[in-house]
């Protein structure tokens, strides 16, 4: 197995730059020995972009009863007027910070170059002749580290803010200070018309030579080794560069406390102790050809049917997901961008994208991702309360569809995308936290409190009833689609029904007896799902609202994935209707997240052919850059992390699925990969699992950390399986 990728040339485009990150700082490494450029990013780098007060949720609660009356009376466009008249306002856009540049003179561009990234360590390396550059972003010390050996007789080093799309009126100034064998380079930037800004700092250490100040940075002559320690800080007003410099200097032990190579090794050891342990928890081996495994990533991408490609993309997906998760979970672009004009503001989009990107975090054992996700959720609950009060006049919480990572207010909406009507977001965002609790056998009081608040919202919101006496969810919205015979804001979207039912039952499970009974009774009055005239699970469970099938989102299949409410074992009739809905669903504009979402639902429905076809569409659609980061559309159009991060989730779901009471082995294995081994998967009943399979055979080794009795479903049948904490158990085609 090769846990990494490589290329025989520097990256000509920032999209092809190799990536490193610690969930706070990010690095895009071009690997050019002549002009060694590293783009520095940080989750907090978001540009101000809305007028004062423009980010508050719309205050529409007083108009809600009239809207509900109109929708229930048959006015299909009533929700289009449910607005405060504001124009569409995007969340604050994510942007890159600056470049660190190490330029060598004279240039030696004819020397062969090999650049690589080691997923196990997070180190990006460029080798050209005697010159070697290594870059990593420390998980232990939150610093970007670059170590250069044999840099050349003369190098020039600077911090450069001139990246694509940078505002012409960005206030930027550079500074250099040298003392006692150290050099500090600073870049101060202030956003146009704003007191907000950010500062980049690089502490440079050399093993000797002569350092002189230039107009842009410093020139170093005669050094054999360089060490650059870089951070970026967002701030209002001035930043305390003295304090920031002292914290960087503390990492070195103080001035002249060691040579660059020794300091680099010490920092790397501290980092890999955390990163390597996390990355190696889960592995996929498809028995690929060793010659194909040795190919550079760009060559392997041209062999979409190769098991070696899926092995590498699985590994890269885990690496990039881990590297982009820390202070926040991954954005639409993960943690990286090289352009200030980031598509869709580089936001966290919570009506599919973020949810798909983090879908493997629990089963594929990346608690770092789950913790980052929890930080986002629990850090915004005050804003979610205001959304509920302002828009719906209720207690409790309502999550936004878009967030910059700081504000949780709902303010990104328009007539065509009435995202302020969407009430299912909080349930979807809480779902992975509940899965994590089931896996660990523990409960986080913050998640319990959030569920209790979500139940309060539903108690206040679900007050209207239809002719059959059942609750009506009104207004209701199915991201980002609209029904035939209606408009975007409608009644009884299947996703909204499923989210409310799930949230109420989850809250009831943690509530005192009397409250639990009340919540379960409310859930029991929610509408039944509707099967349309074509035998498909309908996207809206309301008469007169027809389905529009050619759409990238599969919101109405939320009760299948991720909820497990509809499945082939407990609800076979609804599972057949869900499968029919999947068969009818189009791919609209071929968004990568739509294909992977399709595959995840198909895997839950045990449709191996459809699961494999969804995977093939992503592998053959030219979605991946040479960096193995993905694009949103085919032909590598629009840098976007959805496919890269969600692909491992699809692989795991095709091979292993679990609930607190069920384990499904090989539910939908793609035929293209007839043999392999998946190790380290975590289950929601508290066992780790290694799975091996080949044509006609399989074997699973379970290592439970608590007792469990589960329903085991395998290619050979169904049985009850009793597990005892600490007692390893093997099941397979010959002994299950």
Over residues 322-373, the pLDDT tens digits come to 999 999 999 999 999 999 999 999 999 999 999 999 999 999 999 999 999 9
Three-state DSSP class for residue 416 = coil
Three-state DSSP class for residue 620 = helix
Domain at 4-46+94-280, CATH from 3.40.50.300, 2.70.98.50, 3.30.1490.20, 3.10.450.30 = 2.70.98.50
Contact predicate 149/261, CB 8 Å? yes
Q: How many residues does the chain have?
A: 736
The per-residue pLDDT for range 23-80, each reduced to its tens digit, is 999 999 999 999 999 999 999 999 998 776 678 999 999 999 999 999 999 999 999 9
Given this model, what pLDDT does residue 11 score? 98
Nearest to 664, CA basis, from 715, 614, 611: 715
Tokens describing residue 126: 């460029």
Cα–Cα distance measured from residue 230 to residue 219, given in angstroms and rounded to the nearest whole number: 18
Cβ neighbours of residue 239 closer than 8 Å, sequence gap 6 or more: 188, 199, 233
Given this model, what pLDDT does residue 111 score? 87
CA angle 78, 490, 391 (to 5 degrees): 70
Given this model, what pLDDT does residue 736 score? 44
What is 552-609 written as a DSSP string?
S--GGGTTTTTT-SS-TTT-HHHHHHHHHHHHH-B-TTT-HHHHHHHHHHHHHTT-HH
Given this model, what pLDDT does residue 108 score? 61
Three-state DSSP class for residue 435 = helix
Tokens describing residue 222: 């005669």
Phi-psi region of 538 (alpha: psi -120 to 50; beta: other; left: phi over 0): beta
Nearest to 500, CA basis, from 466, 530, 525, 537: 525
Given this model, what pLDDT does residue 734 score? 67
Positions in the chain whose pLDDT score sits under 70: 52-53, 106-109, 254-258, 734-736
Please state whether beta strands 708-714 and 697-704 pair in parallel, antiparallel, or not at all (unpaired).
unpaired
Given this model, what pLDDT does residue 140 score? 98
Backbone phi, psi, residue 360, to 5° = -95, -5
Tokens describing residue 526: 């929610």
Tokens describing residue 495: 């996703």
Cα–Cα distance measured from residue 336 to residue 324, given in angstroms and rounded to the nearest whole number: 8
Q: Which sequence spans correspond to the domains of the chain?
A: 4-46+94-280, 50-91+345-553, 647-736
| Cα 296–chain centre separation | 25
CATH code for residues 647-736 = 2.60.40.1180
Q: Is 62 exposed, middle or buried (0-12, 13-18, 19+ CB in 10 A)?
A: exposed
pTM > 0.75: yes or no:
yes
Cα–Cα distance measured from residue 450 to residue 438, given in angstroms and rounded to the nearest whole number: 16
Nearest to 166, CA basis, from 384, 346, 372, 342: 342
Fold of the CATH domain 50-91+345-553? Glycosyltransferase (1.50.10)
């Amino acid at each position: 197995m090769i846990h990494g990728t490589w290329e025989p040339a520097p990256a000509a485009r920032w999209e092809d730059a190799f990536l490193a990150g610690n969930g706070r700082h990010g690095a895009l490494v071009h690997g050019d020995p002549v002009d060694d450029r590293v783009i520095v990013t940080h989750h907090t780098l978001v540009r101000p972009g809305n007028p004062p007060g423009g980010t508050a949720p719309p205050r529409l609660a007083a108009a809600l009863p009239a809207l509900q009356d109109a929708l229930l009376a048959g006015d299909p466009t009533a929700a289009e007027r449910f607005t405060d008249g504001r124009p569409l306002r995007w969340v604050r856009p994510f942007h890159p910070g600056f470049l660190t540049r190490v330029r060598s003179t004279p240039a030696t561009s004819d020397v062969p170059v090999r650049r690589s990234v080691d997923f196990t360590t997070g180190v990006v390396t460029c080798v050209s002749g005697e010159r070697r550059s290594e870059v990593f972003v420390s998980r232990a010390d939150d610093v970007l580290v670059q170590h250069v050996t044999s840099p050349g007789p003369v190098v020039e080093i600077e911090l450069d803010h001139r990246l694509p799309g940078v505002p012409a009126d960005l206030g930027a100034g550079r500074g250099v200070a040298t003392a006692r064998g150290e050099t500090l380079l600073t870049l101060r930037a202030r956003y146009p018309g704003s007191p907000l800004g950010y500062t980049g700092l690089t502490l440079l250490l050399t093993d000797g030579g002569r350092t002189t100040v230039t107009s842009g940075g410093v020139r170093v002559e005669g050094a054999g080794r360089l060490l650059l320690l870089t951070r970026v800080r967002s701030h209002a007003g001035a930043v305390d560069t003295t304090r920031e410099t002292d914290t960087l200097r503390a990492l070195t032990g103080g001035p002249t406390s060691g040579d660059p190579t020794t300091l680099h090794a010490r920092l790397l050891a501290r980092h890999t102790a955390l990163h390597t342990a996390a990355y190696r928890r889960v592995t996929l081996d498809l028995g690929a050809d060793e010659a194909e495994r040795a190919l550079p990533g760009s060559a392997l991408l041209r062999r979409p049917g190769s098991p070696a490609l899926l092995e590498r993309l699985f590994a890269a997906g885990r690496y990039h997901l881990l590297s982009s998760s820390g202070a926040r979970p991954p954005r639409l672009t993960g943690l990286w961008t090289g352009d200030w004009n980031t598509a869709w503001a580089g936001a966290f989009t919570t009506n599919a994208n973020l949810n798909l990107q983090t879908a493997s975090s629990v089963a594929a054992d990346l608690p770092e991702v789950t913790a980052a996700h929890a930080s986002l959720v629990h850090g915004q609950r005050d804003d979610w309360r205001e959304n509920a009060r302002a828009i719906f006049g209720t207690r409790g919480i309502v999550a936004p569809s878009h967030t910059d990572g700081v504000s949780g207010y709902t303010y990104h909406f328009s007539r065509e995308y009435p995202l302020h009507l969407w009430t299912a977001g909080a349930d979807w965002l809480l779902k992975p936290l509940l899965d994590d609790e089931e896996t660990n056998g523990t409960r986080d009081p913050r998640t319990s409190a959030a569920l209790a608040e979500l139940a309060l919202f539903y108690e206040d919101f679900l007050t209207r009833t239809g002719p059959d006496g059942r609750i009506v969810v009104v207004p209701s919205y199915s991201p980002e689609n609209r029904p035939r015979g209606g408009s975007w804001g409608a009644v009884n979207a299947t996703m909204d029904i499923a989210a409310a039912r799930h949230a109420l039952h989850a809250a009831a499970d943690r509530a005192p007896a009397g409250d639990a009974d009340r919540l379960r009774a409310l859930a029991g009055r929610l509408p039944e799902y509707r099967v349309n005239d074509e035998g498909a699970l309908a996207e809206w469970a309301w008469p007169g609202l027809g389905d529009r099938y050619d759409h990238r989102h599969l919101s109405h299949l939320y009760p299948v994935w991720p909820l497990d409410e509809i499945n082939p074992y407990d609800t076979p009739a609804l599972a057949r209707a869900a499968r029919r809905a999947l068969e009818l669903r189009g791919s609209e504009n071929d968004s990568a997240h739509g294909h992977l979402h399709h595959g995840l639902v198909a895997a839950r429905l045990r449709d191996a052919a459809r699961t494999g076809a969804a995977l093939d569409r992503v592998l053959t659609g030219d979605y991946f850059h040479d960096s193995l980061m993905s694009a949103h559309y085919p032909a590598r159009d629009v840098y976007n992390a959805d496919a890269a991060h969600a692909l491992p989730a699809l692989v795991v779901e095709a091979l292993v699925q679990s609930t607190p009471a069920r384990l499904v082995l090989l539910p939908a294995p793609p035929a293209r990969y007839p043999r392999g081994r998946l190790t380290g998967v975590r289950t929601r009943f508290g066992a780790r699992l290694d799975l091996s399979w080949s044509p006609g055979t399989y074997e699973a080794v379970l290592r439970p950390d608590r007792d469990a009795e589960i329903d085991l479903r395998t290619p050979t049948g169904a049985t009850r399986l009793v597990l005892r904490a600490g007692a390893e158990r093997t099941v397979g085609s010959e002994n299950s």
